[in-house]
Structure 1
Amino acid sequence: MKLGTKIKRLRVARNYTQEELADRCDLSRSFISQLESDKVSPSVETLERILRVLGTDLQHFFSDEPKKIIFKKTERVPMYELPKGVKMEILMDAIEDKELDAKIVELEPGAQTDQEDYHDGDEFGYVVEGSVDVYLDGKKYHAAEGDCFYYSADCIHYLRNPGKEKATVLWIQTV
């Protein structure tokens, strides 16, 4: 695939217009247009700047390795230093430029995750088994097996298992 075509695909994937990409890279729109048409070649410095804005780097841009699609259960990364009765595993590790962080969270009866302070991003959870209470700035919401929850992480938040059985949650956060 030609350089210009690859850059255009990355730009379109990020929903940038040529004008927006040009502004973010301190280049002209006409240069971006000519680059995507393979009428001009950028310097290495300019290409690095464009790729940085598009969320990648030279190594990954020119790599022929396909992006990883399947993440095996055996590849999960356990998280440590968690409260008693809480087990978390990172489902997708070592991914360049990922925009989501997915975990499986298991809470024994009465256990709760650490309280997280305000941060950027959104969080989504799907209760696979059991039930959890979702606390957002001190307000409690109950989610049973099969229920989902979603919130902006700009509040103090944590999960607690109020039940008598283990609760399992698929928890996804934007990064």
Structure 2
Amino acid sequence: MEIGDKLRNLRIQKNLTLEELGERTDLTKGYLSQLERELSSPSMETFFNLLEVLGVTPEEFFSQETNDQKVVYKEADHTIYFDEENGYELKWLIPDSNENEMEPVVITFEKKGEYKTFEPSLSETFIYVLDGSVSLRLGSKTYTAKKGESLYYQATEPHQLKNYSRGKTRALIVATESYL
């Protein structure tokens, strides 16, 4: 199997679109597509970064089977994406969480920062506010939780998170299915 095919298969196993993988690696969707179709070759640094985001070591990537379960994840395992235009930073705490039932992330909002609007789905979402306060628009209703409070909801209506507080807001989000 070629490297591009293996990268595509790993991405698909992790339920990542090219765009989502691009967000996590700071690579363009077009470049990732070229890599998967063997039209371009990544630098060693880019290749290792892709493997890290996809949650595999080079040894695992080149071997046929991996049976070891990783249990402890360190800060170096985190993947960070910053959206300056919308004023938020996403930190994926588990690099391969897209293939799991839950996906834990920490989101940090700048003042008046907002996350994208999600379409209805079967996902369930838990949010614990670590600092500041976060507002959730769920359908036509808005709910606000401050530091030490939680939100828990089924994502059966369009929903969006925003920071209306005077400073930064930080929250732990755990969602079922991979929709973050």
Smaller-chain TM-score range? 0.5 to 0.7
Deviations 1:97-149 (A, max 9, x none): 51100100001111111111112210010000000111100211110100000
CA RMSD in angstroms comes to: 2.0
User: Does the residue aligned with 2:76 lie in a helix, a strand or coil?
Assistant: helix
8 Å contact kept, 2:97–2:103: no
Alignment gaps of 5+ in structure 1: 1-57
Whole-angstrom CA distance in 2 between matches of 1:110 and 1:117: 22
Structure 1 match to 2:70: 68
TM-score (structure 1 length as normaliser): 0.60
Structure 1 match to 2:168: 166
Aligned to 1:110, which of 102, 109, 112? 112
User: Does the residue aligned with 1:158 lie in a helix, a strand or coil?
Assistant: strand
Aligned pairs (5 A) from 1:97-136: 97-136=99-138
8 Å contact kept, 1:83–1:113: no
- The percentage of counterpart residues that share the same residue type is 23
Q: Which moved more, 1:69-78 or 1:141-150?
A: 69-78
1:134/1:78 CA distance change after superposition, 3 Å: same
Deviations 1:65-107 (A, max 9, x none): 2x11111112111235575211101110125851100100001
Structure 2 match to 1:94: 96
User: Does the residue aligned with 1:79 lie in a helix, a strand or coil?
Assistant: strand
User: Does the residue aligned with 1:74 lie in a helix, a strand or coil?
Assistant: helix
TM-score (structure 2 length as normaliser): 0.58
Alignment gaps of 5+ in structure 2: 1-63
Whole-angstrom CA distance in 2 between matches of 1:121 and 1:71: 24
